[in-house]
Amino acid sequence: MSASFAPGKGVEQYNPRVKQRQNASAAMKWFLFGATALAIVLLGMLLYSILAPGLPWLNWHLITNMPSRIPERAGMNSAIWGSIWIVLGAAVMSFILGLGTAIYLEEYAEKNRWTSLIQTNISNLAGVPSIVYGLLGLVVFVDWMQMGRSLLAGVLTMGLLILPVVVIASREAIRAVPPSLREAAYGVGATKWQTVRHHVLPSAFPGIMTGIILSMSRAIGETAPLLVVGGASQVLFRPSSPLDPFMVMPLQIYNWTGRPQEEFEQLAAAAIIVLMIVLLIMNSVAIGLRQHFSRKARW
Amino acid sequence: MVVDSNALTAQESRVRIPGVAADAFAAKSDAPESKTVIRLDQLNVFYGSFHAVRDVSLEIPENSITAFIGPSGCGKSTVLRSINRMNDLIPAARVEGKIEYHGVDVNSRGVDPVEVRRRIGMVFQRPNPFPKSIYENVAWGARINGYKGNMDELVEQTLRRAALWDEVKDKLKESGLSLSGGQQQRLCIARALAPNPDVILLDEPASALDPISTLKIEELLRELQQDYTIIIVTHNMQQAARVSDTTVFFSLNDERQGVMIEKGVTAKMFTNPEDPRTEAYISGRFG
């Protein structure tokens, strides 16, 4: 037996339509649930289409061996190391440059037409196709600075590619630090750098790390710019100096999927699994760092 | 890490934070009338093209509590924040006129706002402890200003002065944010005392607190008055009446600029003000 109120005062002026509003609210809930479910199903299908052909080929040889023409002997050791160096190098480079830029723009620079122009440009750079960065890297690093098709040129190119995202994420994180915290620090006679170093950065650090994590994920999957800058050919050794040629996992996958033998396609699926595992490990480390520092900031 | 509290009891109530100029006391006992610590002369503050505060002149004597009262938007907080140059942080803000601290214009060339803010501490409207430990909240301001003494002692003395020590002595490592609102505000007062200022500015320090916490803050201010010069902005007229020696009434003129209407001994301001606008505000007829 459902209870209901007697019509209260104001029935002439108000039409609450509680029932309809609640229905709309419930409908929205199902729509949002559907969107989530669809995403999960698609992700599941994607995972299945990789895991099914790839899992049988997933073994130590794949990780320890160098590329080979014989599928049973082919591995991706050089590509794994290439990817790790590229991603770590790019992350370090964009962390230093990107965070520095973000701190300068948010805390030091005057807010005028120039800084807003710079901000607009950084946002635009985040949307530039990655192949353009590859061409830039080819012209500036490979040719003009004579680095050749080297690991260093790849790191610099990839670092530039993810720099705008890191700057934008860091700026957002720094901007989200409440002004009252800065006032508190200035109020006891802190300089700008003391305020930034001891209060703004620790509070913003989790957000900054989120930006770094996202851009690392992007960097490890990027293929096009490295296709231009790096070697598309096989590399049969691990890079041991910054000027060595290099191979990365997405390029290896691209290379294998292009071969006629069906075994190489399955090998490519296995390589995708390895790529995802490496990405997962790197992100876990970054997330662990983020947790560590956000705890420390709160004490 | 904390000094044995028994060792301090003998002298605890009169313990001075090390480094406070002893001659400040000597000068006071010699001179029959207390000297001026802060002097505003024709102070005008602008936010961009908006003339927010017009022609404010007043003197704040040493070891007094001065209350700034007035309706919202009358510029009393703006005046307060000009004194320790916190308005520098607002890009569009501009100050004209003189703000003298012990005879030196805080806006003159060669005066660093960082040094001004160390000497003129500030407590804000909403409690804003650092998201760090209680200990670190107090210690940080002293450390960045190069405090060379025993930090544990300083933290204890300062927390005692802020009437917070007994409540927090067993949890100095816990976050300052774990305290209640009233305790947080007293922690913020302790933080303001740690770099050893001689003036404390409070911008509506009790407006976010319950009546009991408010009363504690007021009692605390009365005690701090012995060693500090205090200026407090408040919306609460009972608070101004209870806690201050001098009351300054600000209001808006016809061009919506903040102006100082009247200044006087608090008891007189609240019983027999000279200006009819002051009377209207105090009796609750406007504002």
Q: Which of B220, B193, B218 is closest to B204 using CA atoms?
A: B218
Q: Which of B57, B50, B45 is closest to B82 using CA atoms?
A: B45
pLDDT at B30 over 70: no
* Number of Cβ atoms within 10 Å of the Cβ of B175: 17
Rounded to 5°, the CA angle B85-B138-A291 comes to 100
Asked if residue A140 lies in contact with residue A228, where contact means CB atoms within 8 angstroms, the answer is no
Chain A residue with Cα closest to B125:
A180
- Do B124 and A180 count as a contact with CB atoms less than 8 A apart? yes
* Number of Cβ atoms within 10 Å of the Cβ of A34: 10
CA atoms in the 13 A half-sphere facing the CB of A114: 3
Task: Tell me how far apart the alpha carbons of residues A157 and A164 are, in angstroms, rounded to a whole number.
Answer: 13
Task: Tell me how far apart the alpha carbons of residues B218 and B187 are, in angstroms, rounded to a whole number.
Answer: 14
pLDDT, position B184: 95
How many structural domains does chain B have? Answer: 1
- Do A187 and B192 count as a contact with CB atoms less than 8 A apart? yes
pLDDT, position B195: 94
pLDDT band at A288 (very low <50, low <70, confident <90, very high): confident
| Residue A201 Cα distances to A107, A119, B37, B126, B272, angstroms | 11, 20, 36, 22, 52
pLDDT, position A297: 54
pLDDT band at A240 (very low <50, low <70, confident <90, very high): confident
Helix, strand, or coil (residue A71)? coil
Asked if residue B19 belongs to a domain, the reply is no
Asked if residue B232 belongs to a domain, the reply is yes
Task: Tell me how far apart the alpha carbons of residues A72 and A56 are, in angstroms, rounded to a whole number.
Answer: 12
Task: Tell me how far apart the alpha carbons of residues B62 and B25 are, in angstroms, rounded to a whole number.
Answer: 11
Domain containing B92 — which CATH number? 3.40.50.300
Mutation site, B117, B138, B203, interface A, largest A CB count within 10 A: B117
- Do B140 and A198 count as a contact with CB atoms less than 8 A apart? yes
Q: In chain B, pLDDT over 90 holds for what percent of residues? A: 72
Asked if residue B190 lies in contact with residue B183, where contact means CB atoms within 8 angstroms, the answer is no
State pLDDT tens for residues B98-127.
999 999 999 998 999 999 999 999 999 999
State pLDDT tens for residues B141-164.
999 999 999 999 999 999 999 999
Using a CB–CB cutoff of 8 Å, tell me whether B181 touches chain A.
no
Using a CB–CB cutoff of 8 Å, tell me whether B258 touches chain A.
no
State pLDDT tens for residues A104-132.
999 999 888 999 999 999 999 999 999 99
- Do A180 and B126 count as a contact with CB atoms less than 8 A apart? yes
Across A35-56, average pLDDT: 94
- Do A188 and B129 count as a contact with CB atoms less than 8 A apart? no
Backbone phi, psi, residue A281, to 5°:
-65, -45
Using a CB–CB cutoff of 8 Å, tell me whether B63 touches chain A.
no
- Do A189 and B194 count as a contact with CB atoms less than 8 A apart? no
Question: Considering only CB atoms, which chain B residues are within 8 Å of A295?
Answer: none
Question: Considering only CB atoms, which chain A residues are within 8 Å of B136?
Answer: 299
Chain B residue with Cα closest to A111:
B91
Chain B residues 77-116 within an 8 A CB cutoff of chain A: 84, 86, 89, 91, 114-115
Asked if residue B3 belongs to a domain, the reply is no
Asked if residue A152 lies in contact with residue B93, where contact means CB atoms within 8 angstroms, the answer is no
Chain B residue with Cα closest to A193:
B144
Question: Considering only CB atoms, which chain B residues are within 8 Å of A194?
Answer: 144
In angstroms, the separation between the Cα of residue B119 and the nearest Cα of chain A is 8
Question: Considering only CB atoms, which chain B residues are within 8 Å of A203?
Answer: 131
Report the first-to-last Cα separation within chain A, whole angstroms: 54
Asked if residue B29 belongs to a domain, the reply is no
- Do A203 and B131 count as a contact with CB atoms less than 8 A apart? yes
- Which domain, by its residues, includes B51? 35-282
In angstroms, the separation between the Cα of residue A194 and the nearest Cα of chain B is 8
- Do B191 and A203 count as a contact with CB atoms less than 8 A apart? no
Task: Name the residue with higher pLDDT: B27 or A101.
Answer: A101
Asked if residue B5 belongs to a domain, the reply is no
Asked if residue B85 belongs to a domain, the reply is yes
Q: Which of B148, B179, A42, B284 is closest to B159 using CA atoms?
A: B179
- Do A111 and B91 count as a contact with CB atoms less than 8 A apart? yes
Mean pLDDT of all residues in chain B?
87
Across B211-223, average pLDDT: 91
Asked if residue B250 belongs to a domain, the reply is yes
Task: Tell me how far apart the alpha carbons of residues A44 and B175 are, in angstroms, rounded to a whole number.
Answer: 43
* Number of Cβ atoms within 10 Å of the Cβ of A176: 10
Q: Which amino acid is at B98?
A: K
Question: Considering only CB atoms, which chain B residues are within 8 Å of A186?
Answer: 86, 89, 117
In angstroms, the separation between the Cα of residue A214 and the nearest Cα of chain B is 27
Asked if residue B18 belongs to a domain, the reply is no
pLDDT, position B76: 92
Tokens of A134: 């590859």
Task: Tell me how far apart the alpha carbons of residues B173 and A62 are, in angstroms, rounded to a whole number.
Answer: 51
Of A191, A203, A299, the CB nearest to B136: A299
Mean pLDDT of all residues in chain A?
89
